[in-house]
Amino acid sequence: MSGLFITLEGGEGAGKSTQIRRLAARLEALGQTVVLTREPGGSPYAERVREAILAGQGKPYGPFAEALMFSAARLDHLKQTIRPALARGEIVLCDRFADSTRAYQGALGALNQDELLALERVVVGETRPDLTLILDLPAETGLARADARRGGGELKADRFESENLNFHKRLRKAFQSIAQAEPERCCIIDADRDAEEVEFAIWECIKQKFAQDLNIAPEPVD
């Protein structure tokens, strides 16, 4: 018995947290057991690593060292949370996963992509997502949303939010390239519209991909 592993990816403020909750509710309404989790984080050890990374503690050591920190957290998250849930036949919805390392640490530059992919193979092994939803929107829009959520400057931007606009533009391109390179696994969702419309687009994608697994009745034809 093996469940489904679905990841949500995208730049800052893309709406992943908003959409992952909506998707979970729709799947639960079908009677599915859903595990909602996130990266970095998703297990007690990985949550501690998250705090350190987002506070910028890895930054002085460079992007590859940060990739190693994300990977250490991911190893534990896979072992403690993701693999056991999949083995129980549950649906794992994960807010960010290995594509974020490819995109973010890649976009920071000066990293050998082959080395990053080799690291991913070692850490992730066979536990690859069945589907990755990439929420795509202009970097400026995502950053404005993230800023508004922080109260327009009342709270400090975290380690990656505070990178410059060019970084966030490179990031968007990096996610688009991942989707182009792996169309079987990835579905690009236009996230620059109302949350309801984004939710609908995500659900269309889920139905297309998993109608049989989820026992979703086909749409009536007019």
Binding residues (CB under 6 A) for ligand T5A: these are 10, 12-18, 39-40, 54, 70, 95-96, 100-101, 104-105, 145-146, 149, 160, 194-195, 198
CA distance 158 to 150: 10
The whole-angstrom distance between residue 165's C-alpha and the CA centroid of its chain comes to 20
Question: First vs last Cα of the chain: how many Å apart?
Answer: 37
**Residue whose token pair is 């939010």:** 161
Strand partners, 93: 6, 36
The DSSP element (H or E) to which 95 belongs, if any, is: strand 91-95
> Least distance in Å: CB of 107 to ligand T5A?
9
Q: What is the residue type of 8? A: L
Q: Which is nearer to ligand T5A, 80 or 216 (CB)?
A: 80
CA distance 158 to 216: 40
> Least distance in Å: CB of 30 to ligand T5A?
23
> Least distance in Å: CB of 141 to ligand T5A?
8
Q: Which is nearer to ligand T5A, 79 or 145 (CB)?
A: 145
Q: Which is nearer to ligand T5A, 162 or 208 (CB)?
A: 162
Q: Which is nearer to ligand T5A, 148 or 211 (CB)?
A: 148
> Least distance in Å: CB of 214 to ligand T5A?
24
> Least distance in Å: CB of 215 to ligand T5A?
29
CA torsion through residues 17, 142, 154, 70, sign:
positive
Torsion of CA 20, 23, 27, 28, to 10 degrees: 60
Q: Which is nearer to ligand T5A, 27 or 100 (CB)?
A: 100
